[in-house]
Structure 1
């Protein structure tokens, strides 16, 4: 690997991950959705976040995790989540097959 390159996993590890995604997605109590690479989003995906309930947002950055209970933050992240959900598809088989 050249300096500055990042590879999330070896190909054989990725095959195992895809197999596991298929197993989990087949469960009745799980929804797996994928956002296509060509989805038109109006904001960059610069970090991850969780909305465990209607009172907290957990924001994960590279060096720190933040928790907010601020209503405007909750509204912003709910809007982002809803936008991502609208862009995602639960028909994941074509993506996993590729």
Structure 2
């Protein structure tokens, strides 16, 4: 085994990861002569980077606006649920089946 470490460019890593997703880790490892653990590490790093990009793509102002909007929608759903429960309770009280005749 060589003592020299091989360096992979970002484009090579992306190509290997693409091949890995299509053909599996064993096949990719053999095809590109890279260890399976390295492929798994690249895949993990790639998914972490994607999550960080998504997290930072929303500004703080936008984030707080979304929180307020979410809260308002939750309150609206709660009000509608309460209305439905009240109507159901009233219908049960006034139902002709419950009256004794």
TM-score where L is the length of structure 1: 0.29
More relative contact order, 1 or 2 (CA 8 Å, 6+ apart): 1
Q: More helix per residue: 1 or 2? A: 2
Q: More strand per residue: 1 or 2? A: 1
- The structure number with the bigger radius of gyration is 2
TM-score where L is the length of structure 2: 0.28
